[in-house]
Amino acid sequence: MRKVVVTQFVSLDGVAEAADKFRTGWDDVVDASGAEIIATQDAVILGHRTYDEWCAFWPGSDIEPFATFINKAPKYVAASTPLATQWNNATAIDGDLIEFVRELKNSAGGDIGVHGSIAVAQSLLTAGVVDELRLPVVPVVVGHGRRLLDGLPHIGLELIRNVGTPSGYLLADYHVVGSAG
Please give the pLDDT value at position 82. 86
pLDDT bin (cut points 50, 70, 90) of residue 179 is low
16: domain CATH number is: 3.40.430.10
Tens digits of residue pLDDT in 1-59: 999 999 999 999 999 999 989 988 889 999 899 999 999 999 999 999 999 999 999 99
Residue scoring higher pLDDT (89 or 181): 89
- At 40, is the secondary structure helix, strand, or coil? coil
Number of domains in the chain: 1
Q: Which residues constitute the domain of residue 35?
A: 4-179
Q: How far is CA 88 from CA 62, 71, 74, 144, in A?
A: 16, 6, 8, 34
Whole-Å CA distances, 50 to 46, 79, 121 = 6, 11, 12
Please count the CA atoms within 13 angstroms of the CA of 57 that sit on its side-chain side.
11
pTM score: 0.94
Tens digit of each residue's pLDDT (9 = 90 or more) over 116-135: 899 999 999 999 999 999 99
